[in-house]
Amino acid sequence: MRFACENRGIETFTEATPDHGGQGLAPTPKELLLNAMMGCTAIDVVSILGKMRQDFSALEIDGEATQNDTHPIHFVEALLRFRVTGPVLPEKLIKAVDSSLTKYCGVNFTVSKSCTIRFLVILNGTEIHSGSASFTGP
């Protein structure tokens, strides 16, 4: 119940949970999806902050998702926590995160069709903003 996946010559692995035959050696597909949600928006936020000339020392995003109980079992709600440290103007960070989760992040756009995505923005240890992904795209 472990599978190799190859994209552009790069091999990654995914497997089932131990209760479904996995050995705990690779993330599950849903764990990879949550990672993709965090990775996609992180790329956006770093890019947008760079264009705004906002220097920061760290960006960490952690996430958790709640699933339904019936098949198909899927995410029904996710929470992404953006933790940024450094001399960033709060309004610029808020704009970067909001832009990612309303306009740019294709992974979160796709997931938002079946899952509520909430987020918190924490700057230098202080929560400065919260919201829900609300895409205005196609």
Q: What is this structure's pTM? A: 0.94
pLDDT tens, position by position, 21-62: 999 999 999 999 999 999 999 999 999 999 999 999 999 999
Instruction: For residue 128, report the phi and psi dihedrals to the nearest 5 degrees.
Output: -115, -10
Whether 122 has a pLDDT exceeding 70, the answer reads yes
What does the pLDDT average to over 64-79? 97
Greatest pairwise CA separation for the chain in angstroms: 48
Judged on CB neighbours under 10 Å (0-12, 13-18, 19+), 11 is exposed
What does the pLDDT average to over 118-138? 94
Instruction: Report domain extents, the chain.
Output: 30-132
> What is the predicted pLDDT for the residue at 114?
95
Whether 137 has a pLDDT exceeding 70, the answer reads no
pLDDT tens, position by position, 10-23: 999 999 999 999 99
User: CATH code for 30-132?
Assistant: 3.30.300.20
Structure tokens at 101: 């989760």
